Amino acid sequence: MNVSELARKLKLNSAELLEILPEFGFDIGKRAIKVDERLARKILDLGDKIKDKIEAKKAAKTSEFAKVAEIAEVIEPKEIKIPAVITVRDLSQLMNKPINEVIKQLMKNGVMASLNERIDFDTASIVADELGVKVLLSEEEEAKEAENLDERIKRILETEDKKNFTERPPVVVVMGHVDHGKTKLLDAIRKTNVIDTEAGGITQHIGAYQVKKQDKLITFIDTPGHEAFTAMRSRGARVADIAILVVAANDSVKPQTIEAIKIIQQAKLPMIVAINKIDLPDANIEKVKKDLSSMNLLPEDWGGKTICVPISAKQNMGIDDLLTTIILVAEMQKDKLIANPIGQTLGTIIESHIDKGEGPVATFLIHNGTLKVGDNIGINDVFYGKARALKDYLNKDMSEALPSMPVKIVGLKFLPKVGDIAEVIDKVERRQRKVSAHDLNKEKSIVRQVHKTPEEEDKEGIKKLNIILRADVLGSLEVISESIEKIESQEVKATIISKGLGNVNEADIDLAANTGALILGFHVKATPAALDLAREKNVKINFYDVIYKLLDDVKSQLTELLTPEVLRKELGKLQVLAIFRTENKSMIIGARVLEGRIIKGIKAEVVRKGEIIAKGEISELKIGKEVVTDAVPTQECGLNFIGKPVIKVNDIMNVYQEEVVKKKL
């Protein structure tokens, strides 16, 4: 007898049977294919005992695993607190994970670090995430994080010598609706053609520029112009002193304009309204002022406090008036516009990205002190590198940068985040804060898997669109991420399962193939190997140059996931007078139209004593022997009802149409 046949009779698999037989004195070998019939009968006779023995062994093993899991549950931390910088060895011990596992995960993410090297909090959290441990900043570090830029500057200024204080240029943030002309305005101000290089005329990266008016410098911050970029605008507002709200004279106040006004008011910034496009024939300045006044922003010439300056960025009209107004508003704020050029140097990172030739670079807006070539840069107690070169907004080399000056730093080891507070640290601090060298010049960046909470996973009825996001700079990546995560409804939600800087790679394609995710690339490409794999696995990659087009596509994909709404339109009512024929799934009946209009091909429901007993469709309609398309009140007609054959005389039939309407977000 074949062993497989014997195992089938015992309702076991062959491997289990061959494993247990020696314990019953049947040593036929673990690779036996056949067994003689006499031996087979003996084994069959002991069938129940053999099965009991196997079940007992399985139960013991399960119990053993449960105990191990229980112990692991107790000793393995689910959540740990760590400082901003930690050695690989310490992280391993806190997580209760083998050191080789931690180093393996670091290498997987492109970080080469030995057990005694130090890694920053972000890197530690990525590694811990992948090993199933959540890391938090220690209370001491949280306190440092909680201190905002204003408090930090105030604390520094309080400790420094007042006689060294000087007036610094005002920092102006430009906000407004997506196509009301913000970038055109900045283009007119700085007399350089930036807008032609921007895809679709929309600013894609946050930037900063300086101009001179009446021998006084003014710093301008330009933010992306789509309504969804609240996060970037908020960051811009936090580091600014004055806000310019651009409103088109032919379009007036839009929802995005209202959003910008809220951000400006929350940041408590003095506001100047630049009423743009006054050269257009349909321009209506008075309507703009009226709309502003309805939002408690009464213009000055109407007796209020809101400064309005009519301009045309395209025709270069009113630009000088706007700059003069900024200087006047800055004069009113001069007590706040102070800094110590020889004091502690600190400021805000307003843009960062990896340059193929220069490595990690960042735009640094200085708030106090003077940044010089060769200075050591620290962020959140981590040494980020030395400023090997400083460049202005025209990409010209500089030797130093003064307060309120935007400057590009070349020579960083790591990529800072937009909104980070950076400061100059001395050599002693540099030694104390030194961390392991991340190879950020490589195209491959650290990709962090986004883990969802059980609460999110348990939400019933929510359809999810998985997204893998790749961008060229950190500022864009953060803005797109936050904007995508805000697009949701009760039925659908977009979830970014992975994001990173650099080109789309093979790992992204594998992840998309396994999760059904959509790959979105902003200002990036895909590697040749990734493109080949995408074709092989039928994975779609969408590339974008304009952020709002990317967001519109995400909204479109989410809209497709929405369950269509079925609208019912009542058309009329019939009373059944006679039953002519009954089939399995249809009936031919005679009826009188009580109200409305009966049309061939519409739906019908059969009502008896107030209850719906069947639903179907009227496939044919006759009056007398003539086939008709419709029947009206008081007319008697014959009809073919396709549906459950349960209709009786005197039943009422309600006829109606159903229209499927696609929902919108």
**Contact in structure between 160 and 345 (CB atoms under 8 Å):** no
Mean pLDDT of all residues in 474-484: 76
Measure the CA angle with vertex 153, ends 147 and 158; round to 5°. 110
What pLDDT is attached to residue 458? Answer: 40
Which pLDDT band, with edges at 50, 70 and 90, does 272 fall under? very high
**Looking at the whole model, is its pTM more than 0.75?**
no
Does CATH number 2.60.40.10 belong to domain 169-336?
Answer: no
Q: What is the reported pLDDT for 453?
A: 37
3-state secondary structure labels for all residues of 67-101 = HHHHHHHHHCCCEEEECCEEEHHHHHHHHCCCHHH
Task: Give the residue-averaged pLDDT of 299-320.
Answer: 90
| Mean pLDDT value of segment 31-44 | 81
Per-residue pLDDT band for 185 (boundaries 50, 70, 90) equals: confident
| pLDDT greater at residue 272 or residue 662 | 272
Stretch 345-362: mean pLDDT? 78
Q: Is the pLDDT confidence value at 149 over 90?
A: no
| DSSP for 15-37, written as a single string | HHHHHHGGGGT----TT--B--H
pLDDT interval class at 86 (50, 70, 90)? confident
The per-residue pLDDT for 434 is: 47
Would you say residue 577 has pLDDT above 90? yes
Q: What amino acid occupies position 86?
A: I
Tell me the C-alpha to C-alpha distance, in Å, between residue 618 and each of 68, 571, 599, 632, 649: 67, 13, 8, 15, 17
Share of the chain above pLDDT 70, in %: 82
CA distance 405 to 475: 19
Report helix, strand or coil for 552: helix
Only one residue has tokens 């009056």, namely 623
pLDDT of residue 223: 59
Q: Which two tokens stand for residue 564?
A: 């269509």
pLDDT of 247 reads 93
CATH architecture of 448-561: 3-Layer(aba) Sandwich (3.40)
Q: Give the per-residue pLDDT at 590.
A: 94
Q: Rounded mean pLDDT of 599-622?
A: 91
* Residue 459 predicted with pLDDT over 50: no
- The whole-number average pLDDT for the span 401-421 is 84
Map out the domains of the chain as residue ranges: 3-75, 79-142, 169-336, 339-433, 448-561, 565-661
Give the per-residue pLDDT at 2: 83
Lowest mean pLDDT: which of 193-207, 332-346, 570-584, 615-629? 193-207
Residue 349 in this model has a pLDDT that exceeds 70: yes
H-assigned helices in 425-515: 427-433, 454-458, 474-486, 506-515
pLDDT at 469 over 50: yes
Please report the pLDDT score of residue 173 as a whole number.
86
- CATH node for 565-661: 2.40.30.10
Cβ atoms of 373 and 390 within 8 Å: the answer is yes
Predicted confidence (pLDDT) at residue 435 exceeds the cutoff of 90: no
Contact 133, 105 (CB under 8 A): no
pLDDT at 651 over 90: yes
**Does 281 have pLDDT greater than 60?**
yes
- Distance between CA 520 and CA 407 in Å, rounded? 30
**638 - beta bridge partners?**
590, 622
The predicted pLDDT at position 335 comes to 86
Kindly tell me if the per-residue pLDDT of 646 is higher than 50.
Answer: yes
> Is the CB of residue 511 less than 8 Å from the CB of residue 495?
no
pLDDT of residue 638: 93
User: Does pLDDT of 210 surpass 90?
Assistant: no
pLDDT, position 235: 44
pLDDT at 501 over 90: no
pLDDT band at 229 (very low <50, low <70, confident <90, very high): very low
Q: Per-residue pLDDT for 110 more than 70?
A: no
Q: What is the pLDDT of residue 36?
A: 83
| Chain-centroid distance, C-alpha 370 | 36
Distance CA 476, CA 352 (A): 9
Nearest to 459 by CA among 498, 485, 493, 482: 493
Report the share of the chain in percent with pLDDT over 90.
22
Average pLDDT of 601-622? 91
Mean pLDDT of the chain: 79
Average of per-residue pLDDT across 42-62: 81
Task: State the SS3 of 226-276.
Answer: CCCCHHHHHHHHHHCCEEEEEEECCCCCCHHHHHHHHHHHHCCCCEEEEEE
CA 223, CA 350: separation in Å to the nearest integer?
10
Query: What local confidence, expressed as pLDDT, does residue 239 receive?
Result: 75
Which pLDDT score is estimated for 582?
Answer: 92
Mean pLDDT score, 200-212:
61
Lowest mean pLDDT among 5-14, 161-170, 529-538: 5-14
pLDDT of 268 above 90: no
Highest mean pLDDT among 323-332, 350-359, 493-502: 323-332
* Residue 475, pLDDT score: 66
Residues 6+ apart with CB under 8 A from 189: 209, 211, 220, 319, 322, 323
Per-residue confidence (pLDDT) for residue 14, from 0 to 100: 80
445: confidence class by pLDDT, cuts 50, 70, 90: very low
Between the CA of residue 63 and those of 18, 67, 369, 610, 661, what are the distances in Å? 23, 6, 66, 60, 55
What's the pLDDT score for residue 64? Answer: 59
pLDDT band at 580 (very low <50, low <70, confident <90, very high): very high
**Is residue 602's pLDDT more than 50?**
yes
Amino acid 73: pLDDT: 43
Q: Please determine whether the domains at 169-336 and 339-433 fall in the same fold group of CATH.
A: no
- Please tell me the total number of residues recorded for the chain in this structure: 665
Which pLDDT score is estimated for 549? 84
| 652 band by pLDDT with thresholds 50, 70 and 90 | very high
Q: What is the pLDDT of residue 465?
A: 87
- Of 244 and 195, the one with more pLDDT: 244
| pLDDT, greater one: 20 or 192 | 20
User: 339-433 — its CATH code?
Assistant: 2.40.30.10
260-277 mean pLDDT: 87
pLDDT recorded at residue 194: 44
Residue 87 scores a pLDDT above 90: no
348 vs 415, more confident = 348
